[in-house]
Structure formats: C-alpha cells, structure tokens
C-alpha cells in the first residue's frame, strides 16, 4: 500500500457517484522476453471495499506477465475476496480497471 515513487506507470480511476479514487502503480521488469509486474502498489481513497479490492488486485497481479495481468477480471477480484455485496461490486470494477489502465499507459510509453 502506498505511492510508488519510481513507478513505470500509474492507473488512475474513480467513481464520481461514490467518491472512490484509486491509483494503481506498477513497476515492470523485462525477463526472458516477457514483461513481468515486478512490483505493484496502490493508493485508495474510499470505503473499506475499495481498499480491499485495491489490495487484492496487487496480490493477483504481482509476478504475472502484463498479458496475464490484463486478463484479471472484475469477477476475479470479487471472487478472490469471497464475494462482495452487490452495492460494492463497483469497487472490484475500479481495481481491475486501474490495473488495466496502468498496463495500457506502460505500453503506450514504450511505443
């Protein structure tokens, strides 16, 4: 948890309805021709569910290739937390979206 000062990319997402705001930071390492998430952290301003989903996305993504991390779905996040109340499912959306935005920004920076 916390800001990563030397992040390779940051995915920023928010939900104006509930006020949640997430930053997903990634550090990528190239290894044997694959891009691996070497480190990942988050800063989340929001409810407990938003913080939990942010933390879970870091657990699910660390050590994965960028291609595999892009496949982590909203339901993967919610299921890894043994489900979320229906009113809090949007939090898993934010976490998965934040990771995907960070990966997209990283890839754009490499072009």
Q: Tell me the catalytic residues.
A: 18, 91
User: Do residues 36 and 61 touch, judged by C-beta distance below 8 A?
Assistant: no
Cα 20 from Cα 86, distance rounded (Å): 16
**3-state class percentages of the chain: helix first, strand second, coil last, to nearest 5:** 45, 25, 25
Cα 78 from Cα 81, distance rounded (Å): 5
Give Cα separations from 4 to 27, 41, 69, 86 (angstroms).
Answer: 9, 7, 19, 31
Residue 43 backbone phi and psi in degrees, to 5: -130, 125
């Amino acid at each position: 948890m916390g800001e990563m000062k030397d992040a390779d990319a940051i995915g920023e997402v928010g939900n104006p309805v509930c006020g949640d705001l997430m930053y997903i930071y990634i550090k990528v390492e190239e290894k044997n021709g694959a891009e691996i998430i070497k480190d990942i952290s988050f800063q989340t301003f929001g409810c407990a569910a938003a913080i939990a989903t942010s933390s879970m996305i870091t657990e699910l993504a660390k050590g994965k290739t960028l291609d595999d991390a892009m496949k982590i779905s909203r339901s993967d996040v919610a299921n890894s937390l043994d489900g979320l109340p229906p009113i809090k499912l949007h939090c898993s959306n934010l976490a998965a979206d934040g990771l995907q935005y960070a990966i997209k920004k990283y890839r754009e920076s490499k072009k």
